[in-house]
Amino acid sequence: MIRVLLADDENLIRTALAALLALEDDLDVVAEAASGAEALAMARAHHPDVAVLDLQMPGRDGISIAAELTTTLPGCATIIVTGHGRAGHLKRALTAGVRGFLPKTVNAAVLTDVVRTVHRGGRYVDPQLAAEAISAGDSPLTPREADVLELAAGGAPVEEIAARAHLSPGTVRNYLSAAAAKLGAPNRHAAVDIARRHGWV
């Protein structure tokens, strides 16, 4: 049996996925989670073979959870499912050790096949997302610029971003200014929109 963890903050989607996977003789959903923190706790408690993670969840996104699981539970393969697939998300996911990346629009047969594929050590990337990633190119932002821009996404003042990033306000302004310039944005709010559209934050 392949032991599966499902993590999605949308209860209807998560329970529907659990019901679909339960129909398969070789798959066993051993745990479900509605947040990033809960997903990590459930993974540590149940040691799943495969974790199916929503890209966007409260607290932590699926990619950061996958990166931690790759380190702490190397026997657990990770799959990201998303309703907001962007080229930058795919590249970040692959860097984090994710073995499967697919949109929520796939049918149940594809998902179950991907679970089996990654459990055997293979990889699966949705062909459409792969094509978009190739054509989009790499992010022009440094990792630190991307981090600061992501912290600015909620409209937080510079002082708050500085405190959360453990930087001086002047350094935060420099990062935000550099990010906006690289993205051709008139201000940090527009820079956030551009970066999110490409999946760079």
pLDDT tens digit sequence for 98-117: 999 998 888 889 999 999 99
Report residue 187: phi and psi, to 5°.
-155, 175
State how far the Cα of 34 lies from the Cα of 11, in Å rounded to an integer.
7
Cβ–Cβ under 8 Å, residues 43 and 30: no
Boundary-marking domain end, from 81, 108, 135? 135
Q: 177 by DSSP, 3-state: which?
A: helix
164 and 104 within one domain: no
Q: Which residue has 């906006």 as its token pair?
A: 180
Q: CA separation (Å) from 66 to 95, 105, 140, 189, 190?
A: 10, 21, 24, 28, 29
CATH of residue 67: 3.40.50.2300
Does 155 score more than 80 pLDDT? yes
pLDDT at residue 105 in the model: 85
**Domain range enclosing 173:** 143-198
98 and 26 within one domain: yes
State how far the Cα of 116 lies from the Cα of 176, in Å rounded to an integer.
43
Categorise residue 111: left if φ over 0, alpha if ψ from -120 to 50, beta otherwise: alpha
Q: Give pTM, 2 decimals.
A: 0.70
178 and 129 within one domain: no
82 and 127 within one domain: yes
Q: Sorting pLDDT into bands at 50, 70 and 90, what band is 134?
A: low
pLDDT at residue 175 in the model: 93
pLDDT top residue among 140 and 138 = 140
State how far the Cα of 180 lies from the Cα of 68, in Å rounded to an integer.
30
Boundary-marking domain end, from 116, 135, 154? 135
128 and 31 within one domain: yes
Boundary-marking domain end, from 118, 135, 152? 135
Q: Sorting pLDDT into bands at 50, 70 and 90, what band is 72?
A: very high
Split into its structural domains, the chain has a count of 2
